[in-house]
A and B are shown apart, each in its own frame.
Chain A
Amino acid sequence: MDFFPHRHLLGIKGLNERDITGLLDLADEAVKISRQREKKTSTLRGLTQINLFFEASTRTQSSFELAGKRLGADVMNMSVGNSSVKKGETLIDTAMTLNAMHPDVLVVRHSSAGAAALLAQKVSCSVINAGDGQHEHPTQALLDALTIRRAKGKLSRIIVAICGDVLHSRVARSNILLLNQMGARVRVVAPATLLPAGIAEMGAEVYHSMEEGLKDADVVMMLRLQRERMAGAFVPSVREYFRYYGLDAQKLKAAKDDALVMHPGPMNRGVEIASEIADGPQSVIEQQVEMGVAVRMAVMEALLVSQHQGGLNNQGFRA
């Protein structure tokens, strides 16, 4: 990868095919490092990374933490609960306080769309969006892309079916953007109550039946259905949802024989995905977790090294 022309990673929107390919190439290198016995590099030695999580997420936070540590950065975790303080009220104040400590990168998760962008305007370091409301979750889309590319060898012209609660999903939005940018064919499969307005213009073919939506798919990407949305509000019941939209062996048959099964986690087994599928031979859910660390290493390297040195000259990670 040459120069990564962005200071922040706030979303997939704004990245072009070259940016994405560059990040994925870099992430491939990071996978190698993570598989060595000696996993620590000096790439970000002396730099400070703060993980600022306004919304609890063990998985994403530990993935970012590990990524920073493997790059040699000093990592600090800040978990700010949403309970006592009014949402958002502390966002800028907290950010300004942390900014005064001179971090080099802030990793932010917040329950409100646009929170990462707002923060990026106020602080003087790079900001990585680790999920902002229902807007974007760019590193998830990148890790999904890396997982697919390593399994299928390409992203262009493959058929990806994104199934489930697209309406509330930042993962879906980032994936739709990324996959379209890379030339994949994107389908969404969901009951109409779980699709956002204007979905047909967002770069996805819309299906309401799993059998049709999964037909000939190369990748089946399941989304998590939040518990509070299951009973009556958006779908009548868990059992009805599973009957029509839960991924089981029967429905998976419609997809290609070698189709990948993905899930961003954490899974609701028996709601959106049957256990036998989640643990089955087509599942790459564990690989996604591994790729998560690699992608986050790549993103931080790109933001913090590439832009400062005017390009990596393919030197990759420093031992």
Chain B
Amino acid sequence: MTDLVLTNLRIIDPSRNLDETGTIVIRDGVILAAGSDATRQGHPEGATVQDCRGLVAVPGLVDARVFVGEPGAEHRETIASAAQAAAVGGITSFIAMPDTDPVIDDIALVEFVMKTARDKAVVNVYPAAALTKGLHGTEMTEFGLLSEAGAVCFTNGRAALHDTLVLRRAMTYAREFGMVIALESRDKYLGAGGVMNEGLLASWLGLSGVPREAEIIPLERDLRVAGLTRAAYHAAKISLPESVDAITLARSRGVNVTSGISINHLSLNENDIGEYRTFFKVTPPLRGEDDRKAMVQALADGRIDIIVSSHDPQDVDTKRLPFADAADGAIGLETMLAAALRLYHSGEVPLIRLIDALSTRPAQIFGLDAGTLKPGARADITLIDLDEPWVVAKEAIVSRSKNTPFENARFTGRAVRTYVAGKCVHSL
């Protein structure tokens, strides 16, 4: 591989708390230098030099929560098509959730995902393994063997874990392997049958509501169990300021906890559902505008660690239904960065913190070789034009499924080039 030199970039690398104008030098898919120092070092002989004036270079984005349809629902999304969509969105690594058919609860399936990713995916795909067999919430999986095979964390995927005893044993056992347990929290009974945020809007629409406590109560329970077992716990998809408070409090007690929020919950609120728009039906349900604002604030000050796309491809069969009958989920790989940049343009979240939440922090939490532009790191780099206006057109969506809540949304800024191990996998 020839050397590649990208010059005149604004380089933002949260792993080094760096925001400066400079040069990135890449050799054999590895970063040799990235920063203002690199400018003075001169270019290696025979290197390809590209002037990137006006662009921002950040460590390739890391999306820690992506639902893929392979194996089992390839018509919605394959590992390859999700990777393609990720590249377009500036994402160079993602963690694939185990909610497939069959469920990723066995080493053979972890190996299948890794092999398929190696052969067909243009970005790095890391498998998450099921915490319990078949995601049924009763028997734990082979944490040791699965993590040796390449699983980067354990999760119950879309399914919440209800049995506290199973949770305690899983956390106790997982601790020995240093693995993070990432869970969504949803009370089996309180939220049962609910399809949107409980409140006036749901009442008028005649839809059954999910009360806030359906997220908060099991989260507080999980945090207690995490404290008891001293396990690493990741609250995968929180949506309420009360959840942030519970996590902050648990941290002050010494609990090893991190948290994530989907870009949908930072960008949208329950009013967007309007007259039963099923593309806005997600879990946890979209909350009120006050909640959204509070969550943006919590993200800005670091109380929420990371942003995920929670990319969840659904097709017309599962979405073109009455609201209550439609599947949950929205795609997000291609729009996560642009939607997040809204928070930068509005002045609510500093750019370096945003990139931290989209790249460096998730890589740290899940122990991935990503999220940094340090010399020696794999050259996963996203070049962003912060000011380019664009509109999300359904026809332009790369993902196999088109269930985006951002159709026709106007954005400012997006990934214009994506490098994975020094190779350009997306270019506008």
Contact = CB atoms under 8 A, between A and B. Distances in A.
A198 B325 contact: no
Interface stretch (A88-96, A99-107, A206-214, A298-306): A88-96
A88 B321 contact: yes
Nearest to A173: B206
Q: How large is the interface on B (under 10, 10 to 19, 20 to 34, 35 or more residues)?
A: 20 to 34
B207 interface: yes
A228 interface: no
B199 A198 contact: yes
Given A170-B206, A173-B206, A197-B209, A118 B276 contact: yes
Given A114-B275, A117-B275, A118-B276, A199 B203 contact: yes
Nearest to A199: B203
Contacts of B323: 112-114
A112 B276 CA distance: 11
Interface string B303-323: 000000000000001001111
A173 B201 CA distance: 12
A114 B322 contact: yes
A135 interface: yes
A198 B200 CA distance: 5
A41 interface: no
B322 A198 contact: no
B324 interface: yes
A85 to B, nearest CB: 12
Interface string A123-154: 00000000011111000000000000000000
A115 B200 contact: no
B202 A197 contact: yes
Interface string A183-224: 000000000000011110110000000000000000000000
B205 interface: yes
Given A132-B206, A135-B206, A170-B206, A113 B200 contact: no
Contacts, number: 76
Given A113-B276, A117-B275, A196 B322 contact: no
B322 A197 contact: no
Contact of B200 (A13, A136, A202): A202
Nearest to B208: A134
A112 B275 contact: no
Contacts of B275: 114, 117
Given A113-B205, A113-B207, A134-B206, A197 B199 contact: yes
Nearest to B273: A114
Interface string A142-173: 00000000000000000000000000001001
A201 to B, nearest CB: 5
A243 interface: no
Contact of B203 (A87, A136, A197): A197
Interface string A62-106: 000000000000000000000000111101100000000000000
B206 A113 contact: yes
B204 A92 contact: no
Contacts of A136: 206
A237 to B, nearest CB: 21
Contacts of A118: 276, 320-322
Contact of A196 (B203, B276, B326): B203
A110 interface: yes
27 contacts: A13-B204, A86-B325, A88-B326, A112-B321, A112-B323, A113-B205, A113-B206, A113-B207, A113-B324, A114-B206, A114-B207, A114-B276, A114-B322, A114-B324, A117-B276, A118-B276, A118-B321, A133-B322, A173-B204, A173-B206, A196-B203, A197-B198, A197-B202, A197-B203, A197-B211, A198-B199, A198-B203
Interface of A: 13, 86-89, 91-92, 110, 112-115, 117-118, 132-136, 170, 173, 196-199, 201-202
